[in-house]
Amino acid sequence: MVITRINAFALTLLLSAAPLAAQEPLQDQPAPSEDDSESFRLMEEGARTFFRGLMGEMEPAIEGLQGMTEQMRLALRDFVTEMGPAFRDLMTEVEDWSVYAAPEILPNGDILIRRREPLDPVPEDEPDAEIEPNPDTGEIEL
């Protein structure tokens, strides 16, 4: 695909140079001589040779990129297959992402996502509800 783009670029460059040679001479300048058309032909051939060499030099790198993109495509597909359901669940849990700051990675490796503005605190004049153990088991449910 990249080689096709390089070929298209080279073709465009060569075709854009062709109208320059086809222009009629200006009145103050003499008509192009045989030497001028030979010079243009040599320049055109030099440009073709240059682009052929450039394409030959770039071909191994382009082939390497194609292999790497295939590996990345497979890895991305696996990532989406594994993480897609969890990400979908996360998106349904969080109503508005704009209320959160960017994630922070703590020195111990934990990831912390803080709210930009804290929630309204519970008024201090309201007493905490009394925690009573379950009468059947005596356990406190957290």
Phi and psi angles of residue 25, each rounded to the nearest 5 degrees, phi first: -65, 150
Does residue 98 form part of some domain? yes
Neighbours of 74 (CB within 10 A): 10
pLDDT of residue 135: 73
28-59 pLDDT per residue, tens: 666 666 677 788 888 899 889 988 888 888 88
Q: How many domains, the chain?
A: 1
70-95 pLDDT per residue, tens: 888 888 899 888 888 888 888 888 88
The HSE-up count of residue 126 (CA atoms within 13 Å, CB side) is: 5
Does residue 76 form part of some domain? yes
Q: Which domain holds residue 69?
A: 2-17+34-112
93-102 pLDDT per residue, tens: 888 888 889 9
Does residue 120 form part of some domain? no
Decide if pLDDT at 13 tops 70.
no
Does residue 10 form part of some domain? yes
Does residue 45 form part of some domain? yes
Asked if 59 and 7 touch (Cβ cutoff 8 Å), the reply is no
CA 106 to chain CA centroid, Å, is 27
Q: Which of 4-8, 22-26, 111-115 has the least mean pLDDT?
A: 22-26
Does residue 90 form part of some domain? yes
pTM here?
A: 0.30
Does residue 125 form part of some domain? no
Element (H, E) at 105: strand 104-105
Does residue 124 form part of some domain? no
